[in-house]
Every structure is written in structure tokens, then in C-alpha cells.
Amino acid sequence: MVVCTESTIMSDDDVDSEFLGFHEMGLDDRLLKAISKSGWRKPTPIQEKAIPLALEGKDVLARARTGSGKTAAFCIPVIQKILAAKQSATEQCVRAVVLTPSKELCNQAFRNIKDLTSSCSREVRCVDISQPNPLPSQRPMLMEKPDIVVGTPSRVLAHIEAGNLCLRDSLEMVIIDEADLVFSFGYELDIKRLLEHLPKIYQAFLMSATLTEDVKALKKMVLHNAVILKLEESRLPETWQLAQYHIKCEDEDKFTLMCALFKLGLIRGKSILFVNSVDRCYKLKLFLEQFGVNACVLNSELPVNSRCHIVTQFNEDVYSYIIASDETLLADPKQKPQDKKKHKKKIHEYGVSRGIDFQNVSNVINFDFPRNVDSYIHRVGRTARGNNHGTALSFVNIKEMAMLQEVEDDLADHAPEGENLFKPYNFKMEEIEGFRYRSRDAMRAVTRLAIRDARMKEIRQELLTTEKLKSHFEDNPQDLQVLRHDKALHTVKKQVVLKHVPDYLVPKTLKNLQQEEKTDKTKKSNKPGPSRGQLKFKKRQADPLKSFEFTGLSSKKKKKK
């Protein structure tokens, strides 16, 4: 990590060479209790450096990769400073504002703050005003003057101009999360107007995954003599934590492979399947439906309440699979260039690979290879977060080969010496030939009309859920817990036979592996328990995407001999 002010640069050793724990930062016991309850044993590098600087009252610009704990790095000092101020405060007031570029990120920051204030919820109150409710309906909770207000820049500005929120006299801290997205989401003018309503002196934090020109411009507008934290770490998790594979195949083979991976049980654990457009979302969903694989669709067309609810339930293990579109252009391609500026917010309204905190994701599958390096990094960043292990598998057709090479060249320094970043996933296509015919049968039913109908049906269902049943869910919150978003859309003909996999379709190498597992179980009862090293080896063998690749390699070696 490099720590620097606008005039000086210091190495990490000059600042603090020793590790600093949460209990050594002078934090309130109630905050330490909440941190312990969250299961955080020690601060991440960005938290270790940012929290003490923030507690000293300095403006901070922190750059660190996705999943490094940036959100907690600003939430913890904000809560601590509010608790300290409460000891001598004579009146209740708004002391901090958290700004994020999307409603989903607002919801995420709000939940993080709620978790960290679980032991002091009476002393520190937080509200999220990002939801698209009428301004008068949110006025009562703002009139109670919560300690922390979370919202998008445009929403906070709207409340200020409506007279529901006044920050000029009481505000002490301003936090902007995912700062590199704020301007690209069209909030530049909102930020400028918002700053006019803030006091002249306040403490500010900017958190970003990259230091773009937009971030530098935002820094000049918001920060004063800031300390800049640049975390000198890899843009991706280390190779021991993240395994990256690729399969070179035609577009038709992608569907065959997807079917085989699911039906042979090679994908285990929660997974996110990324595609490059909304239509591809529904095409893949309708295809998998016919094989009895239920998945949620997550894209910019769905109402924001539905998107937040899907992410929440995914994190609570209600769903195992999400098909996410990572589109960047949602506007009508027939639009004239001069009209596109007016729709900037709509174009950049939603990208699921950025910022949103998906928890305990085992696999990220790039069904469509991302269009640029940054998109690849942010997609893969959804797995292998914290100390968890993860797997990234990319399907690459001929048209996407150039992009694969560009990603490999750009991230070459992340690969072990003498090795490639992507390991080939040695799937034997000849062994899953039976799945090809089944996939073709399923694909015949997934017509353009079926995709269009599914797209419209899903939007209608979600709009009904979020609008018509909103009052019902407020009175019956338990019903919201059982609401599901992965139901079949039934816009294609149902083929029951496709859900079952006959024994003759299971590849020989996989049958051998299953037989070995059965014999191991029978031997287990007569043998003492395995050692720690044996358990680690078994865990490695049972990796969701390594097992078939592992057996394929071993069979190849036998043939050579």
C-alpha cells in the first residue's frame, strides 16, 4: 500500500509497520461487539489504514479492489465518531450522509451500517431514502433527524430542495462509495448542486475501486488536503484463492456445456452466470428451465425493489443460481448521438458486476465473455471474497478469443511464474455428445417470441409484486420471505424427459470417480478418521469445477503410458 497526501508520498513502512487490530483502534465496546458478531477477526489492509486516519479527522481517498472491505472502512469510523459526539450532544441531528450511485448500493451500505449498529441501534439511527417512494412519504422519518442518511445524490438533493432535509448546520461527514461510478451514472450536476447545501467545513471519504479521471475530478470538488490510500495489491484474488478456467467452444456448445455441468452435478454451491444482454438472460433461463434448473434473472429492466430482494434472498441462501446481464448500453440503438446524453442515467443505470455484495459465491461463470478487462475483473470479484475460495469459468467462442487474449495480457502479472492465468478446463466434448441432442431439442423451443413473452411476463410479475402487494408485505413481512423470483416462466413447451439424465449419458470418467467415492465411503467405516492433510486433498478433489477436469487429465496420462 502507498499512503500519500497531495504533497507528500510515504511508503507503508513509514506509516505503520506493525499490524493494528480493531481493539487497538480506540473503538467503542458496542461497535467492537457488532464487529465480533459479524465474524471479522482482524481488519483488512484498507480498514487497518483508513480507520485510524478517519478517526483523526482527515479526509480520505481510498482505492482498493472489490471485496477488500471498503464499505466497513468508512462505516466504522463514522459510527464511532457519532457515538463519541453523542456523549456531549444536546440535540438530535443529521451528522453523516452516505452517497452511492445506485439504489442497490444504497441498500447494501444501509444494511452494513445496521449490522454495525446492532448493539447501539438506539443511539445511532440510519435511514435509506434511495427507494423511489414519493418524497412526502419519506418526510416523517427525515423529520426525526436520523444520525446517518443513505441515498443517491439526486435523491438527497431532492429532499433538501423539498425542505425535508437540512444539512448546512449539522453535517459533519460526507461519504461517497463507488466514487468511480458517480459521474458515469450522471450525477455530476447533482453533486455540484448538493455541495452548495453543505457546510463549508466537513470531513469527507471517497471509496473507489479505480482512480479514474472522474474520481480525480470528484476529489477536487469534495476533499480538502486529502490522504490518498492506494492499496498495492493484485486486482484479482491470489491464485490459491481463485481458480480461473476457460473452455473454447462454439456458441451452441455453450448451452450444451451448461446443461452437462448442471445435470452431472459439476457445479456445486451458489453461482452467478453472466451474460452480455437482457435477451440472453431470458434465453439461458428458458433453456435451463426445460432441464429442471431454476434460476433468478437479474437485469436493469426489473423494478429496484425486486432487484434488492433477489440479492438479499440470494445472500440468505434462498436461491443457488442467478443469471445476470452485465449490459452497459440499454438505450435504443436507433437513437441519435445527441439524444444519448439525455439518457445517460438510463444507459448506466445498472451493472450487476459492480459494487453489489453477493455473499458466499462459489462460482462465477462467464457464459458470455466480458467486453473489456475491467468488466472481467468486476465479474470475477463476486467470488473469492474475504477468505473464501472461488472458481471462475469462462466460455469463449471464436469472436471472443481476442478479448480473452487481451485479458490474459493485461493480467499476466497475476499468473504464477511460467504459467498462464487461465487454465484450460479439459472437458471431453465427445463424452457429453448425448447432451448435445437434448440441448438442440430444448433450444428449438426457445424462439425469439418465447424470449420476448418471457421478458414481458417477468416484468409484469415483478411490477405486480412490488406495487400491488406492497401494502400487504408491510403488514405481513413473513410473506416477503417466502416470495420467490426463480419460478418457471412457462413460455416454452414443457419437456419432462429433459429433466432426467439416463445412466448412459454420464461420462465414463465421471462414473469412475463416483465409484471411487462409493468405495471410499465403505472403507471409511473400517479405518480411523483421515488426517488434516488428507481432508485438504479430498476437498481439493471435490472442487465443483476441478473434479471432472482432474479425472480427464489422469485418463489422458494413462493413455500416453
Q: Own/partner pairs for 34-41, CB < 8 Å, 24+ apart?
A: 34/115, 34/116, 34/117, 34/118, 34/119, 34/120, 35/76, 35/116, 37/115, 37/118, 37/119, 38/115, 38/116, 40/72
pLDDT of 524-551, one tens digit each? 555 565 565 555 445 544 454 544 443 3
Q: What is the percent of the chain with per-residue pLDDT over 90, rounded to a whole number? A: 43
The dihedral over CA atoms of 85, 87, 93, 98, expressed in degrees to the nearest 10, equals 40
Which residues, 6 or more positions from 225, have their beta carbon under 8 angstroms from its beta carbon?
Answer: 5, 6, 59
* Alpha helices (runs of H) in 94-165, residue ranges in sequence order: 103-116, 135-143, 153-161
Measured N-to-C along each axis, helices 278-289 and 448-463 cross at an angle, to the nearest 10 degrees, of: 100
pLDDT at 193: 95
pTM of the predicted structure, to 2 decimals: 0.68
CA distances from 371 to 247, 350, 405 (A): 17, 16, 12
Asked if residue 507 lies in contact with residue 229, where contact means CB atoms within 8 angstroms, the answer is: no
Phi, psi of 236 (to 5 degrees): -120, 155
pLDDT of 495-521, one tens digit each? 777 878 888 788 777 777 666 666 665
Phi, psi of 313 (to 5 degrees): -70, -30
Opening angle at CA 210, ends 209 and 211, nearest 5: 135
pLDDT of 52-107, one tens digit each? 999 999 999 998 776 678 889 999 999 999 999 999 988 999 999 999 998 888 98
pLDDT at 38: 86
> Residue 111's pLDDT band (boundaries 50, 70, 90)?
very high
| Strand ranges inside 209-295, DSSP E | 227-230, 242-248, 271-275
Least confident range of 58-67, 129-138, 327-336: 327-336
Of the two residues 218 and 353, the one the predictor is more confident about is 218
Of the two residues 175 and 178, the one the predictor is more confident about is 175
> Residue 180's pLDDT band (boundaries 50, 70, 90)?
confident
Q: Is the Cα dihedral 549, 551, 552, 557 positive or negative?
A: positive
pLDDT of 4-45, one tens digit each? 545 333 334 444 445 678 989 999 999 999 999 988 888 988
Phi, psi of 275 (to 5 degrees): -125, 175
pLDDT of 190-215, one tens digit each? 999 999 999 999 999 998 877 778 88
pLDDT value at 247 more than 80: yes
Least confident range of 158-162, 348-352, 367-371: 348-352
